[in-house]
Structure 1
Amino acid sequence: MPGWSCLVTGAGGFLGRRIIRMLGQEKELQELRVYIRTFKPILKEELSKLQTKTKVTVLQGDILDAQCLRRACQGISAVIHTAAVIDVSGVIPRQTIVDVNVKGTQLLLDACVEASVPVFVYSSSISVAGPNSYKEVIRNASEEEHLESTWPDPYSYSKKMAEKAVLAANGCTLKNGGTLHTCALRLPFIYGEECQSTSFAIKATLKNNGIHKKLATFSVVSPVYVDNAAWAHILAARGLQDPKKSPSIQGQFYYISDDTPHQSYDDFFCTLSKEWGIRLSTWSLPLPLLYWLAFLLEMVSFLLRPVYSYRPPFNRHLVTLLNSVFTFSYKKAQRDLGYEPRVSWEEAKQKTSEWIGTVVKQYKETLSSKTQ
């Protein structure tokens, strides 16, 4: 891949920033092109840390702006598409999620064809595979099992449709007569330093005197450390450009995980944060009762809709996501992409825990300044 160039969408996000960091270390990369909607300070800080001779270009634009996407793709060798709206709680309007995740992905694929970009790597999600019921047990599932989510919620639906569009585009003829090669990486919950959802959870727990409420204690999941998730994208982009590896990768999807121990979300959260005084609540509702309580809350929301907009604190889909046995094997990614986790569980745990310590410290300092 002498002198290749790469466009990263969603570059201001948690995963996108780590991908940029790793691409900055690619010796053969001539240009790193960053596509974002808003140039946030955290991305500016990330870019300032890059020690690379690679040309770095920042482009601001909407993922739904076809003309802007075509300009962004001009002269690019590979696209890594991470931009997406993530919402499993029903906060964001359905149409917004579907537009960004499905229409935005299709517009980017069209731009690649128009600009003759031969490689497209898509950040997908395990939510396209389920879980469909908390009663169903899925352990170390492989790609050959053809699991598919049946939930109508906008996030799972949109990621599933976008992934199908990406894989269907594999083999398309480019404007210059070349061929588009695509693949998708299905990612579980991604953790690590600067994870926004973890930061929110820590602050909510500290407000509750350091006691973490049990809402996901019945699950068994396989989270992935952010650096390992990012590394898989680099390998996929490399592999699709390698004449020897590319034929086995084209049009394929891969589950990406690492050696993080499989456990419940609640236990995982406390494993990372217990050093800072975080502890689990001693009680929780039985799972069937929690599920039907979610159903009742959804009914209340539905009945009130004509006169009042009520958003339940949780729904059946969220209860299912947080309380299912749902783990995956990364053997196919090992075989085809040469993927091996770059960061061990012990190192990932230490780095994440140290970062959580800074979140706790900042929260307490802010609270102290307000009370003075």
Structure 2
Amino acid sequence: MLPVNKWSCLVTGAGGFLGQRIVRLLLEEEQELEEIRLLDKVFSPQLLLEFSELKHKTKVTVLQGDILDEELLHSACQGVTAVIHSASIIDTGLWRKKDIIMNVNMKGTQLLLEACIAADVPIFLYTSSVEVAGPNSYMKSVRNGHEDDLLESKWNNAYPYSKKLAEKAVLAADGQLLRNGTILHTCSLRPVYIYGEGSIFLQYEINCALKNDKTFARKSEGSMANQVYVDNVAWAHILALRTLRDPEKAQSIGGHFYYITDDTPPQSYSDFNYEVSKEWGFKLGSKIGIPITLLYWAAFILEMISFMLSPILIYEPPFNCHLITLTNSVFTLSYKKAKEDLGYEPRVSWLEAKKKTSQWIGTLVAKNRENLKIKAP
């Protein structure tokens, strides 16, 4: 048993882009945190060193392993007060890694949930995704959408489908009576596109632009979406966890999901990439000449070809209907409910987030310049 008011937490995906931010905040902000267990397949030595320097009085236990390892999960959950499940595989493909994505995102969540119930863990906080909600059509606009709209993705692509099923399992488990007489309370956070220093997706876009004379391909015209800074998403997890740890408040948010955005101005993904990198000479390409409708139907035909070939060959189309919809829709959401129920307010302003992200992009530009010098004859 832990001392009175002392508690412990297991964080999955603790070595990842978001997970490591959550861990940092837990170590910095939660003075009564007795132990934090970090579970992931890979941890960098630098990250482990940083965690050890931040830990203060908190015991840090590193558990390197797979989310599908049932024995590991049951061991990791023993004696834990709360679980933050942020481990996930993110992908926009049609067939690529489909089985792996379904296993990790859906089955892994179910196994972790079962391990929590077996170990009488009363709090389960799930990192979901905006793609659980949509967008479903580039022709239908959603502006300042909120939780009461009950938006739900129609896509069967592995990532949105696996996250949707996993979230439903987590929220359905809320209110379950555990063997020790306590009640399990669950909650889900749905962050939008997460950016910031270390984002592999933003790094990919920067690297592509560097190979194209610092020019971003303009992938959408007239679209609008939310982007959220990674530290603000991590802060939302801390606040949600605090709310779940309060017996009275936990009942009001248990079984609910919350959209997590911040004050980053909604814009197209292409415009966003340009906005955070223009300081380093990046620019936007010319406007798209191909109508979106034509692109969508081309994607549909490629998907049909892929489906017909699937019995004998796995063909991954270069783009698909879900990706075209995702990058060409007007789909913005509000964090009003998270503010009301969780007390969430962005900790990092848009200007500060843009500055930090831009400085990081500057290091990528410098690294690319050095690599070119090394390759030069």
Normalising by the smaller structure, the TM-score range is over 0.9
2:123 alignment counterpart: 119
Worse-superposed segment, 159-168 or 175-184: 175-184
2-structure distance, mates of 1:148, 1:303: 28
Q: CA deviation at 1:287?
A: 1.3
Consecutive unaligned residues of structure 1, counting only runs of 5 or more, are none
Worse-superposed segment, 244-253 or 298-307: 298-307
Asked if 1:22 is matched to 2:25, the reply is yes
The TM-score normalised by the length of structure 2 is 0.95
Asked if 1:206 is matched to 2:210, the reply is yes
2-structure distance, mates of 1:116, 1:347: 41
Cα gap change, 1:18/1:251 in structure 2, threshold over 3 Å: closer, same or farther?
A: same
Q: CA deviation at 1:92?
A: 3.2
Worse-superposed segment, 44-53 or 128-137: 44-53
Q: CA deviation at 1:291?
A: 1.4
Tell me if the contact between 1:301 and 1:310 (Cα under 8 Å) persists in the aligned partners: yes
Tell me if the contact between 2:82 and 2:121 (Cα under 8 Å) persists in the aligned partners: yes
Q: CA deviation at 1:301?
A: 3.3
* Structure 2 residue matching 1:245: 3-state secondary structure: helix
* Structure 1 residue matching 2:79: 3-state secondary structure: coil
Q: Paired residue for 2:5, among 2, 16, 21?
A: 2
Tell me if the contact between 1:217 and 1:265 (Cα under 8 Å) persists in the aligned partners: no
Asked if 1:338 is matched to 2:343, the reply is yes
Q: CA deviation at 1:51?
A: 4.8
Tell me if the contact between 1:217 and 1:267 (Cα under 8 Å) persists in the aligned partners: no
Q: Paired residue for 2:301, among 269, 286, 296?
A: 296
2:371 alignment counterpart: 366
Cα gap change, 1:302/1:251 in structure 2, threshold over 3 Å: closer, same or farther?
A: closer
Cα gap change, 1:49/1:327 in structure 2, threshold over 3 Å: closer, same or farther?
A: farther
* Structure 2 residue matching 1:147: 3-state secondary structure: coil
The TM-score normalised by the length of structure 1 is 0.96
Cα gap change, 1:115/1:354 in structure 2, threshold over 3 Å: closer, same or farther?
A: same
- Percent of aligned positions that are identical: 58
2-structure distance, mates of 1:356, 1:146: 37
Letter in 1 for 2:295: L
Tell me if the contact between 1:4 and 1:29 (Cα under 8 Å) persists in the aligned partners: yes
Cα gap change, 1:49/1:324 in structure 2, threshold over 3 Å: closer, same or farther?
A: farther
1-structure distance, mates of 2:164, 2:314: 28
Q: CA deviation at 1:44?
A: 2.5
CA deviation map 1:91-142 (0-9, x unaligned)? 6332221111111111111111111111100000111111111001001011
Consecutive unaligned residues of structure 2, counting only runs of 5 or more, are none
Q: Paired residue for 2:69, among 30, 44, 65?
A: 65
Q: Paired residue for 1:12, among 15, 19, 23?
A: 15
Letter in 2 for 1:286: P
Q: CA deviation at 1:364?
A: 1.5
Q: CA deviation at 1:357?
A: 0.6
2-structure distance, mates of 1:158, 1:267: 29
Tell me if the contact between 1:218 and 1:287 (Cα under 8 Å) persists in the aligned partners: no
CA deviation map 1:207-261 (0-9, x unaligned)? 0111111113332111110000001111111101112321211111000101000
CA deviation map 1:25-74 (0-9, x unaligned)? 12111111101122334533542452522110001221111111010011
Matches within 5 A, 1:38-77: 38-41=42-45, 43-77=47-81
* Structure 1 residue matching 2:68: 3-state secondary structure: coil
2:169 alignment counterpart: 165
* Structure 2 residue matching 1:190: 3-state secondary structure: strand
2:110 alignment counterpart: 106
Query: RMSD of aligned C-alpha atoms?
Result: 1.6
Worse-superposed segment, 281-290 or 352-361: 281-290
Q: Paired residue for 1:176, among 164, 177, 180?
A: 180
Q: Paired residue for 1:151, among 148, 155, 169?
A: 155
1-structure distance, mates of 2:302, 2:45: 38
1-structure distance, mates of 2:12, 2:267: 31
